[in-house]
Amino acid sequence: QKEVEQNSGPLSVPEGAIASLNCTYSDRGSQSFFWYRQYSGKSPELIMFIYSNGDKEDGRFTAQLNKASQYVSLLIRDSQPSDSATYLCAPEDSGGYQKVTFGTGTKLQVIP
């Protein structure tokens, strides 16, 4: 069984601060990694993906990947109350078909 570990939180940060969300995974064959945001009562929506070691930036979001350590993270700069949500890490399975294994998510609370 592939495993994806995330701290469930809640992670509380003040407005304007950097939120750091971490994820470790067990499937060494994973090549692509997705971060989804899920607001309470809503379905997940993609916010970032990364497939190369290093950093990938998109606006206030930065995804970081270290395949050797099997570790992926998401940084949110200048956190806003609207960022309060659960963030799901989802490495793509090495078996193909676009299958991913979801972590249980980290709940982020941005305090105004």
Site string for other proteins, 18-47 (x = CB under 8 A): ----------------x-------xxxxx-
Q: Which is nearer to other proteins, 10 or 16 (CB)?
A: 10
Shortest separation between residue 82's beta carbon and other proteins, angstroms: 19
Write the single-letter amino acid at 84: S
Q: Residue 107 and residue 12: Cα distance in Å, rounded? A: 9
Locate 8 and state its tokens. Answer: 């469930």
- Secondary element (H or E) of residue 64: strand 61-66
Please tell me whether residue 49 binds other proteins under the rule CB under 8 A: yes
Nearest to 36 by CA among 78, 74, 79, 1: 74
Q: Which residues bind to other proteins, rule: CB under 8 A?
A: 1, 8, 34, 42-46, 49, 88, 96-105
